[in-house]
Amino acid sequence: MDFKELDPILHSQLRLAVVSLLISVREAEFTFLKEKTNSTAGNLSVQINKLKDAGYIEVTKQFSKNYPQTICKITKKGIESFEDYVKALQSYMNPGGN
């Protein structure tokens, strides 16, 4: 049986949660991701940087009403990697399936 390797960048609880959220929206602010993933700012920030370095997400820093704002958006590479990850997961969960 040929099992696909799971992407180590995505095979982490928080990074997978961030990418799953971003796949469903056009873009999201850091505070939204923090709230939905129930994570700490420091940890989330580290994981966002890892995803950014891998080219899976784009991060834009801007100011809104004098407050810094971090906007995250999934990239085409991120979408493709997520799709491959889900396919790989399916191959593990359903080895006899098509």
Partner 1 sequence: MQSEQQLSNEKSLEIIQQMISQAKNNISDNGLGWLIWGTMIFLSALSTFIFIYTSAENTFLAWDIFGIITIILLTYDLFKPKQKKVRTYIDDQLRLVDMGFIISLFIIILSINISVLPSSGFGFCLVIFAFFLLLKGGAVKSRSLMTGAAINWAGAIAMFIVKDFKYDMLIMAIAVLLGFIIPGLILWLQYRKQLRS
Using CA atoms, how far apart are residues 17 and 47, in angstroms rounded to an integer? Answer: 10
Which residue number, 53 or 92, has a Cβ lying nearer to partner 1? 92
Q: How many residues bind partner 1 (CB under 8 A)?
A: 33
Enter the tokens of residue 65: 């009403």
Enter the tokens of residue 95: 């080895």
Using CA atoms, how far apart are residues 57 and 89, in angstroms rounded to an integer? Answer: 21
Binding of partner 1 at residue 45 (CB under 8 A)?
no
Binding of partner 1 at residue 79 (CB under 8 A)?
no
Binding of partner 1 at residue 46 (CB under 8 A)?
yes
Q: How far is the CB of 30 from partner 1 (least distance, A)?
A: 9
Between the CA of residue 32 and those of 36, 54, 61, what are the distances in Å?
6, 22, 15
Query: Interface residues with partner 1 (CB under 8 A)?
Result: 6, 11-17, 20-21, 23-29, 31-32, 35-39, 43, 46-47, 64-65, 86, 89, 92-93
